[in-house]
Amino acid sequence: MKPVTISYIARTAGVSVPTVSKVINGRSGVAAETRARVEALITQHGYRKSGPPQRTNLMELLVDELEHMWGVEIIRGVQRVVREHRVGLVLTEFGPDRTSIRYWIDDTIARRPDCVVTVAQLSDAEQNRLRARGIPFVVLDPATELPEDVPFVGATNWAGGRSATRHLIGLGHRDIAMISGPGHLYCQARLDGHRSALSSAGLPPGEVRRAALTEEGGHTAARDLLTAPGRPAAIVTGNDLQAVGVYRAARELGLRIPADLSVVGFDDLPIAGMLDPAMTTVRQPLTEMAVAATELALALGRGETVSRIGIELATTLVVRDSTAGPAADQK
C-alpha cells in the first residue's frame, strides 16, 4: 500500500495543499470546521510528515490548577527529570473551568514539544490532534478509564483505601465513615478499597459522603457526619485537604483528635506532618509518579520502544498521631 500523501489528504478533504500544510504545522488561518475535517483524515490515515521529526528539546506539562500543594509535588518530580536531561519545560495551567487558556492545543502544536505529560483530562479530539502531529503524551494519575494504548502513570489507589480502613479496624473501630471525592477513577478506587476492608472484616458499609477534594469540601461533609445521630468514631478521607477540613469541623464541634475521632488522609502532602496532631495518611508517591511519567514521555518522544505504557506505583500507610482506638462508649 502506498503511503498517504499530503496531496491525497487535500483532495479527500476538498481543500488545497497549503491548507493541509497549515493544519499539520499548527498554523492559524484555517476555519474550525475545515481544520476538524483535515485532522480527522490525518488521524484516520495515520499521515505523518516526511523525514525525521524535528526535536525541540522541549516538553510540556498540562495541569488544571496549581492552587494546592498537590501540584507542587508534581512539578517537583517533572523538574527533577528535565533538569537531568537538559530539556526545557513549558507549564500550561488551564485554570478553573478551563477559562484561562481556551486554545491551548493550537499553541502546543505550534511549539511542537517532544512530548506532553498531562494531569488535566484531555478530550478525544485533543488527544487525536497530538497524535496527528506525532507528539506523544502520558496521562498522570488518570481520572477516567483510558484506552489500552494510552500511556499512564498512577498509584495503587484501591490498596491505599483498603490499608487506611484496615488500620482503623485493627485499632478496634467498627463505625468508620468515608468522605470520598467526586466520581474520578482514583476516588472510586479508594472508596472501593475502603468498602472491601469493611466487608472482609464483616462490618457494615458505613456512611459515605462525596465532596470536593478541598478543605471546604471535607469540612462540609464532616459537619454533616459529625452532627448526625450516631456519629462515626473514625473518618477516612479522599485526600489530605479534605482531612484538614475534618480537623476544622471536629475542633468547631469540641471533638478531640484522636480521643473522640480518628482521621486518616490520603496523599501525604507536607501539611500532614505539620498538623496538630500529625495526620495518619496514605502516602501517594506524587513526586515519584511525576518522575516516572516524565521519563516515559521523554522516552516516547525520542521514539524509543518502552516495555510498559501503564505504570502504578505503590501507596503506603504512614501512621502518625491522628488515629487511636475508639473511646469506651464508641466500641
Does 52 fall in a domain? no
Q: Are residues 173 and 132 in the same domain?
A: no
- Number of domains observed in the structure of the chain: 3
Determine, yes or no, domain membership for 28: yes
Which domain range does residue 84 map to? 58-155+287-313
Per-residue confidence (pLDDT) for residue 96, from 0 to 100: 65
CA 305 to chain centre: 25
Sign (positive or negative) of CA dihedral 220, 222, 226, 228:
positive
Tell me if 29 is assigned to some domain: yes
Residue 220, pLDDT above cutoff 60: yes
> Do 169 and 274 fall into the same domain?
yes
Distance of CA 105 to the CA centre of its chain: 19
Residues 172 and 269 in one domain: yes
* 178/244 same-domain check: yes
13 or 312, which is more confident?
312
Hey, how many other C-beta atoms are within 10 angstroms of the C-beta on 114? 23
**In a domain? residue 1:** no
Whether residue 192 lies inside any domain: the answer is yes
**pLDDT at position 100 over 90:** no
Angle value at C-alpha 79, between 157 and 120, nearest 5 degrees: 50
Residue 77, in any domain of the structure = yes
pLDDT of 249: 98
Report if residue 33 sits inside a domain.
Answer: yes
Q: Which helix (H) or strand (E) holds 295?
A: helix 286-301
164 and 274 fall within a common domain: yes
pLDDT of residue 71: 85
98 band by pLDDT with thresholds 50, 70 and 90: low
CATH number for position 73: 3.40.50.2300
Q: Are residues 221 and 72 in the same domain?
A: no
| Higher-scoring residue by pLDDT: 67, 255 | 255
Tell me the chain's radius of gyration from C-alpha atoms.
Answer: 24
Cross-strand pairs, 61: 91, 117
Is 264 inside a domain boundary? Answer: yes
Q: What's the longest Cα–Cα distance across the chain?
A: 80
Q: What are phi and psi of 188, to 5 degrees?
A: -65, -35
Same domain, 257 and 147: no
Q: For residues 45 and 296, give the distance between their C-alpha atoms in angstroms, rounded to a whole number.
A: 26
**115-154 pLDDT per residue, tens:** 999 998 888 888 988 988 889 999 999 999 998 889 999 9
Residue of 69, 66, 65 whose CA lies nearest to 273: 69
User: Do both 39 and 73 map to the same domain?
Assistant: no
Q: What residues are paired with 265 via a beta bridge?
A: 281
Q: Is the dihedral of CA 286, 291, 296, 300 positive or negative?
A: positive
Whether residues 142 and 269 share a domain: the answer is no
Match 479530539 to its residue by C-alpha cell: 125
Residues 6 or more apart whose CB falls under 8 angstroms from that of 50 comprise: none
Residue 97: left if φ>0, alpha if ψ -120 to 50, beta else—which one?
A: left
User: In terms of domains, do 220 and 119 share one?
Assistant: no
Identify which of 26, 28, 24 has the alpha carbon closest to the alpha carbon of residue 49: 24
Whole-angstrom distance, CA of residue 170 vs CA of residue 165: 9
Say yes or no: 225 and 279 in one domain.
yes
Same-domain check for residues 172 and 103: no
Here the cell at position 11 is 483532495
